[in-house]
Amino acid sequence: MIALNQRYSYQDICTSMQILSECYNDFTICRIVGTSQDDRTIPMMRMGFGSQNLICTAGIHGRESVNPVLMLRMIEDYAQGFRFRQSIGGCDVSELLHRYSICFIPIVNPDGYEIATSGFDVISNPIYRRMARARNISSENWKYNARGVDINRNFPCKSYVQQQLYEYPGSESETQMLMRIFRDYETVAYLDFHSRGKIIYYYRNAMPNTYNQKCRQFARALQHVSGYALGRREEELLSKVSGGNSVHFYSELTGNPAITIETLPLDAPFPTSPSYQLDAYEEIKSIPLSMLASL
């Protein structure tokens, strides 16, 4: 059902998630977990029977339009693997999803995704639309939400730095949604998928050495299945304004592993062509399962 090598609109993603949930309703549930600044719903698919959850997110940056589609395909393949007792990447899907559950949020920033794929006219709020156009950033390169805030710099953690006069830590509805998920669910780890350089980042500057050593072990397991490089510790905060990420907040809140997966070549242009989807999916399709198997 979920074909790669093609574009999906925000509505396509939402509709596909609902259809998949109906097809596999004996072990999945799809529900709305939040609303964007421009009033788009944010769906989440929870799959499995375990009380402990692995959180997987994509689409925090609007212009990174490949990963939401890859996560949609991942949902479908994992559902089929669970039902038909198959293995993916050497991992027994049914066995793992009887012990754990996975919460997939493929499109954390639906406003940004729609702007990057369809232009600024999709912004319903006229004030936000004018603000966005005034930034002099092309819609294809838009990574922010409809209000022009970078969601991945908006989390209330030690590395947060204010970047817009009208924002504050946790100010955005998309940020608040993810914070609620982290707090309301019993979680074991968090994987955040981005699109720049085929790198796995695991080091968290605010966390103790024992934490980072443990996360490095998990990252090495994910490197084994993906072939991606491991990010160096000095690359975690490349500038004073690169903090405030969802992984920083989660690690400080829970003490559990929080790992960033950067798909696609470093030179992949925006808007990102769907032609990258097939290769990228083969690289990352078993990463959440491998994470669970490594716990």
Q: Are 152 and 57 in contact (CB under 8 A)?
A: no
Active site residues: 262
105 Cβ neighbours under 8 A, 6+ residues apart: 33, 42, 43, 44, 55, 56, 57, 58, 178, 181
Closest CA to 5 of 229, 192, 282: 282
Distances (CA, A) of 260 to 82, 100, 213, 230, 236: 25, 20, 16, 10, 10
Distance from the Cα of residue 235 to its chain's centroid: 20
